[in-house]
Amino acid sequence: MSNMRGIDTPVRQRRRRVFREVANLAYTSQNLKDDMEALPYKIVDYEEPKYWESVYRDRAIIRERIRLAMGMSLRPENREHPGHLTEGLEESNIDEKYYEPPLMQVIPSACNACPENRYEVTSSCMGCVAHPCQEVCPRGAISFVGGKSVIDQEKCIKCGKCKDICPYDAICHKERPCKAACGVGAIKSDHYGRACIDNEICVSCGMCMVSCPFGAIADKSQIFQLIRAMQSGREIIAQVAPAFVGQFGSKVTPEMFKTALKKLGFADVYETALGADMGCMAEAEHYVSEVATGKKAFALTSCCPSWSVMAKHFFPETIDKISNELTPMVATARVIKKEHPDALVVFIGPCASKKLEASRRTVRSDVDFVITFEELTGMFEAKGLLLEEIKAMDEMTDATGAGRGYGVAGGVAAAIERCIREYYPDTEVNIQHAEGLTECRKVLALAKAGRMNGCLIEGMACPGGCVAGAGTNIPIPQAAKELAKFKGQAGRDVPEPGCHQQAVQ
């Protein structure tokens, strides 16, 4: 797994710049079409290429990033006239949630066509007399040319034995980073050897996007349409996922963050952990009545959309085991709509796949927009709001420690377990959690084989949980630490029984 998360790389700086500029267009542009056409020249305002072999390629990539940030699709590269940057702008210049599926896209002009999986001998080879690499190769793929080891790629079966045995660490394993990060095998290759995403399998967790060192994968954003909605004068209410703490600067308290959102134009701010509290109480009751009694073999949590979509896709026999509880995002949205029937609800979170959950047709989500912490940062920057200088005028007291804990891997399971121990002390509870889709698939395979009976299984698509989501701003360990502190500040440790009846059915 790529560990460049949390480093402020040029890839991340450019993503942020595009979000800031797109937000700025929405806030200030008098002539949207012309200003959008001018934007690639504003961002790539140098003549000597910085990242690619030419500034033209640099601008071509930025153009596609701008389109995706506006919620639009990429332009086909194989047409003779791929169309203008602003082609389709009318559909996207609206004040309601908008993006053309699919959510995750590879920008072909930015893809490095990395080798998918190969072992190569580097210049560190000493041409030693022992030749252990040659001795352990089960396929005779290694020969010596000019005294140095060479791997015949036709014969090589990618077992890695040569790499493991080389005393000089002279053999490297080259793997496509996006493919290595995808736990569902959705990254394929096109006929040029560039990465492409199989949308039938992709669960939009975004781990490929944050692992690509070329910044060739991006998701679509709704910041432009959200700002249009804010300009329409409608009442707009934000709900924030618990993973927000620390994402906007170490000095920014939850209270300062809430005040900053109101300054940005939100009428009110709720904690999504409120919906998590309802969920964990209901999940506790469900475990006690269904799983502990043996009526159901095991139960799966449902708050991570990538995990539940993956479970349904790869293990259809588990569908009846996935919790029917509303996810925290949807439960909170329903509470907000009950209290403010005419308001639009915006979910602000760490997660790309919540954008899909809000759009699905099967369960009415009541969520009108989804934006990530990274996209919100672009809005704050475009407005010139410095969060570290904001004087807190609000407090955040919606949720208990249990609900806030949902933001970190193991937190959902731990919250449900605490509720069971508190309210059903006689019930024995068996909790498992898996993080990262590769691990999640292993756990589901064990469950399918009958090895997880009596378990409540929490799955999180992102290794580390929501604090590691594709739309976050800070290193994962730092985010987990901040969340633990925020959880400790809650007035209550667990929700009261019956709190989950609040959400409107």
Q: What is the 3-state secondary structure (H, E, C) of 465-483?
A: CHHHCCCCCCCHHHHHHHH
User: Could you give the domains of the chain?
Assistant: 10-107+198-224 (no CATH), 117-175 (3.30.70.20), 234-497 (no CATH)
| Exposure on the CB side of residue 307, measured as CA atoms within 13 A | 30
The single residue listed with the structure tokens 């019956």 is: 498
> What's residue 38's pLDDT?
96
- DSSP annotation of 322 reads B
Helix (H) or strand (E) holding 17: helix 10-28
pLDDT per position as a tens digit, 198-213: 999 999 999 999 999 9
**Interstrand relation of 142-145 and 148-151 (parallel, antiparallel or unpaired):** antiparallel
Distance CA 105, CA 375 (A): 17
Rounded to whole angstroms, the Cα distance separating 43 from 14 reads 9
Q: How far apart are CA 455 and CA 444, in angstroms?
A: 11
Lowest-confidence region among 57-66, 110-119, 174-183, 396-405: 396-405
The answer on pLDDT for 230 being more than 80 is: yes
Separation in Å, CA 117 to CA 120, 135, 177, 199: 10, 22, 10, 22
Closest CA to 388 of 485, 255, 261, 250: 250
What does the pLDDT read at residue 79? 56
In this prediction, residues 61-79 reach a mean pLDDT of 86
How far is the CA of 405 from the CAs of 230, 251, 487, in angstroms?
31, 21, 6
Sequence-distant (6+) residues with CB within 8 A of 94 are 225, 228
Does the pLDDT at position 6 exceed 90?
no
Q: Using alpha carbons only, how large is the chain's radius of gyration in Å?
A: 25
b (16+ CB within 10 A) / e for 393-432: ebebebbbbbbbbbbbbbbbbbbbbbbbebbbeeeebebb
* pTM, rounded to two decimals: 0.93
What is the four-CA torsion angle of 466, 271, 325, 308, rounded to 10 degrees? -20
Sign of CA dihedral 143, 146, 147, 151: negative
Band (377; pLDDT cuts 50, 70, 90): very high
Residues 6+ apart with CB under 8 A from 292: 427, 428, 429, 454
CA 495 – CA 274 distance, rounded (Å): 9
The Cα 462–Cα 205 span in angstroms is 7
* 122 vs 111: CA distance, rounded Å: 24
Cβ atoms of 143 and 233 within 8 Å: the answer is no
- Backbone phi and psi for residue 439, each to the nearest 5 degrees, phi listed first: -65, -40
Cβ distance 283 to 416 under 8 Å?
yes
Instruction: Say which residue, 361 or 105, is predicted with more confidence.
Output: 105
User: Which pLDDT band holds residue 101 (cuts at 50, 70, 90)?
Assistant: confident
Higher pLDDT, 98 or 56: 56
Transcribe 386-427 into DSSP letters: -GGGPPP-----S--HHHHGGGSTTHHHHHHHHHHHHH-TTS
Contacts of 123 by beta carbon, 8 Å cutoff, 6+ apart: 170
Task: Tell me the per-residue pLDDT of 288-302, one tens digit each, with 9 for 90 and over.
Answer: 999 999 999 999 998
- At residue 266, what is the residue type? F
Residue 115 confidence (pLDDT) above 60: yes
pLDDT at 119 over 60: yes
Quick one: what percent of the chain has pLDDT higher than 70?
Answer: 97
